[in-house]
Structure 1
Amino acid sequence: QGGSGNGARADVARKMKEVDHLLAKLENEGVEINGKIASIIED
């Protein structure tokens, strides 16, 4: 049981890294989008 528990934990950690990566990517794109919206509003 301990072995499978460790494997599951590693799998969760890997998925968390993928989620972090996606969030960081979305955040970067969101900043760009916010900048465009801000410049449109300023015009």
Structure 2
Amino acid sequence: MACGAMGESGLWSDDAIERQLSHIESNNIRAAYIHTSVVLIGRLK
């Protein structure tokens, strides 16, 4: 319910919503790219 409302609002990207709700990505390739981007952002800080 919350995921749908946040997605429909257009304020957040689908990736940000999924990460916040700790959903597991079923597409392994997409999951790898999401993980890599999160790690790189963390390393930049």
Q: Select the structure with the greater relative contact order (CA < 8 A; seq sep ≥ 6).
A: 2
TM (norm. structure 1) is 0.43
Instruction: Give the structure with higher Rg (CA).
Output: 1
TM (norm. structure 2) is 0.42
Q: Report the structure, 1 or 2, having the larger helix content.
A: 1
